[in-house]
Amino acid sequence: MPGNAIPVVEITHVSRHGFWLLLDGEELLVSFTDFPWFRQATIEQLLHLERPTPAHLHWPQLDIDLSVESIRDPSAFPLVANVHQSVREARS
Architecture of domain 9-91: 2-Layer Sandwich (3.30)
Residues in the chain, total:
92
Question: What tens digit of pLDDT does each residue of 4-45 get?
Answer: 555 678 999 999 999 999 998 899 999 999 999 999 999 999
* 23 within 8 A of 9, measured Cβ to Cβ: yes
- Taking the complete model, does pTM exceed 0.85, yes or no? no
Question: What tens digit of pLDDT does each residue of 54-64 get?
Answer: 999 999 999 99
Alpha helices in the chain (DSSP H): 43-47, 68-72, 83-91
Domains in the chain: boundaries: 9-91
